[in-house]
Amino acid sequence: MTTTYLTHYERIILENINLDDYDVVLSEAFSNVNAVYNIFKKEYCYPANLQRYKTKQRCFAEWLKGLPTVLSVPFYNYDILQDALLGGFNLTTELDEHNFLDMYWTNLAKAFFTLKENL
């Protein structure tokens, strides 16, 4: 039996997929991640956005900031930081908190594409 270890951001992604409004039946993680990716492509990944953001990963981070219902990740700074503390992150200074929040959306996007490639 293999054990899968998820990063903090991968856990957030997998725990917050909600396909209820998309006539998609929840199943295994791989299918859910692919369903989210296909929804992202239809809703946001069009030529003008790819030109603006340069990569699909950056485009995905911007899409997440718009709070899509299919992937309802924590978005309030307080909730993000509390979840990070529970996840073992060391956020002892305001600078630590600022840096964590500054990279949050980018790290979620990276985690999503890591999951997409490795599940």
Domain annotation covers residue 3: no
Distance between CA atoms of residues 33 and 23, nearest Å: 15
Residue pLDDT tens, the chain, 119 long: 444 679 999 999 999 999 888 877 767 888 999 999 999 999 999 999 999 999 999 999 999 999 999 999 999 999 999 999 999 999 999 999 999 999 999 999 999 999 999 97
Q: Range of 96's domain?
A: 8-118
> 50-87: b or e for each residue (b if 16 or more CB lie within 10 Å)?
eeebeebebbbbebbeeebebbebbeeeeebbebbeee
Paired tokens of 55: 């990569």
Paired tokens of 115: 């999951």
Domain annotation covers residue 90: yes
* Structural domain total, the chain: 1
The single residue listed with the structure tokens 């529970």 is 86
Amino acid identity, residue 22?
Answer: Y
Query: pTM value?
Result: 0.91
DSSP string of 8-25, one letter each residue = HHHHHHHHTB--GGGT--
DSSP character at residue 87: T
Domain annotation covers residue 2: no
